[in-house]
Structure 1
């Protein structure tokens, strides 16, 4: 059995190097965590790509919340990132009433055609998770859902995640579940025992939240915990 996937959020090249040194398998690249993670500048993506040899999933989101905002601007940013060499992405949009914004999500999926991408934690804020998954089931490139099972985090949503994992392979449930959002160390043994094999961490590998860089030693601690 291959070891679990361990994804770490990186804001800078320094973060990326520390995450790689600690044993991360993949990075999610964002900026502005005060807005819960927005699309990084092309120059920042380029600096991180030059600093590490890890897969990089780049956030496509230019405003706080889960509506797309200026879709033309976002498509232009996406094109610039692709031109710079970005190959994997994170995206996903909801309507004001919590439904899937399929036109916006499809537009971004088409803009990154040929690339793999994650539908992020917008699923945890959606009005109907099952309907969202059904509507996205055949969208090209979607291989992962980043989710905690509930808007309030893993402690509230683990039973939801376990129910979705039990449907693995069914239409709408063929994508990997990447567990993240309120994930704490004490959750990991139970999640591993239940069969989850992908984990996403942000602030937990920093000494003092988002004001401090990724700590390689903390990444290594999580790596060992996930692999145990």
Structure 2
């Protein structure tokens, strides 16, 4: 089995997806509307991206800016429609008003996605207690990844938390893979790799022209090279 680190890149459309795969991405996170930090993409966008590339895709399930679930029934319908279109991997995460995980919303979506693997996203960085959240989510079927910066402020602030959590891998609640994203820079990678963290997630870092521009295969390849060094 390869020990190659996982590089996940945000894709908004098929052009992004093709460039990310060409640059060496292992997986894509599909979203729309980055002004709201990424919402559920339209079915036609998923279908176009799925037809354009053959690497794994994780699809965002999120209907509104922030970390409240909003209309859970609508999210479940979106999840089922995407599943029907062939989506097999997802990204989700919801908190209630006190910063506790919204288990009702999470369970509703997970139960609509039997057999699917999923990431709990950066809602963990806004949780009242990261440790309590991890332990409450432990054992939910399909949860294999936490997307986190270690802090709501980004990786610069969260690096010590990420390193400490990596050292707890295998403890209850700490089995899922740590996927680092949120203010991530190339200079963070050696520290993360030394801590045993083997997965990173990039969005703006893959787009030299910013969110108004496309993913650059060359930018992705730069990350690939540092991860593989």
Q: Distance in 2 between matches of 1:192 and 1:141?
A: 25
**Contact 2:7/2:26 (CA < 8 Å) preserved in 1?**
yes
Residue number in structure 1 paired with 2:185: 184
- Please report the TM-score for the alignment, with normalisation by the length of structure 2: 0.98
Deviation at 1:6, TM superposition (A): 0.4
* 1:107 alignment partner in structure 2: 108
User: How far did residue 219 of structure 1 move?
Assistant: 0.4
Matches within 5 A, 1:125-144: 125-144=126-145
Cα offsets for 1:92-133 (capped at 9, x unmatched): 100012111011011111111100000000000111000000
Q: How do residues 61-76 of structure 1 correspond to structure 2 at under 5 angstroms? A: 61-76=62-77
Instruction: Please list every run of 5 or more consecutive structure 2 residues that lacks an aligned counterpart in the other structure.
Output: none
Distance 2:191 2:170 in 1: 22
Match of residue 89 from structure 2: 88
Aligned to 1:42: 43
| 3-state DSSP of counterpart to 2:3 | coil
Deviations 1:177-204 (A, max 9, x none): 0011110111111111221100000000
Report the 3-state secondary structure (helix = DSSP H, G, I; strand = E; otherwise coil) of the residue aligned with 1:210.
Answer: coil
User: How many Å separate the matches in 2 of 1:223 and 1:180?
Assistant: 15
Structure 1: how far apart are the matches of 2:167 and 2:208? 36
TM (norm. structure 1) is: 0.99
Deviations 1:161-217 (CA, angstroms, capped at 9, x unpaired): 111111101110000000111101111111112211000000001012110000000
Matches of 1:193 and 1:41, distance apart in 2 = 38
Gaps of 5+ in 1: none
Q: Distance in 2 between matches of 1:113 and 1:95?
A: 24
1:208 aligns with 2:209: yes
- Name 1:117's counterpart in structure 2: 118
Aligned Cα root-mean-square deviation (Å): 0.7
The Cα of 1:86 is off from its aligned counterpart by 0.3
Q: Secondary structure in 1 aligned to 2:214? A: coil
Q: Which runs of 4 or more aligned residues in structure 1 lie more than 6 Å from their structure 2 counterparts after TM superposition?
A: none
**Alignment of structure 1 residues 125-164 onto 2, 5 Å:** 125-164=126-165
Residue in structure 1 matched with residue 18 of structure 2 by the alignment: 17
Distance 1:174 1:153 in 2: 22
Q: Is the 8 A contact 2:167 2:195 kept in 1?
A: no
